[in-house]
Amino acid sequence: MTITWHLRIGGKPTGLVLHQDNRYPNMWRIHYRGMVSDMVNLARAKDAAFGWLELPPKRGQAALHMKWKRAQTPAEASPVRFRSPPVS
């Protein structure tokens, strides 16, 4: 399962997305306008994202308009074939 976080300001998407790393699931990369960051943990990625958008840190009223939206895409189906339970 792949998880992404999308930053929205005032309900509008910013185009900035955090993508979970495939090899290291606890690490994230920032994707914005064709640029990709180094791997960092989720808290650092969310904090650094404001710098990429050249926004001031979340404080007071401005914090109410900034939201992270989490999205998940399901993992591929298992290659295991399911069988009917044995008949007693």
CA nearest to 11, candidates 71, 60, 64: 64
Model-wide pTM > 0.75: no
User: pLDDT, tens digit, for every residue of 47-88?
Assistant: 898 888 876 555 554 554 667 888 876 555 455 555 556 665
For the stretch 1-30, pLDDT in tens is: 678 999 988 888 899 999 999 899 899 999
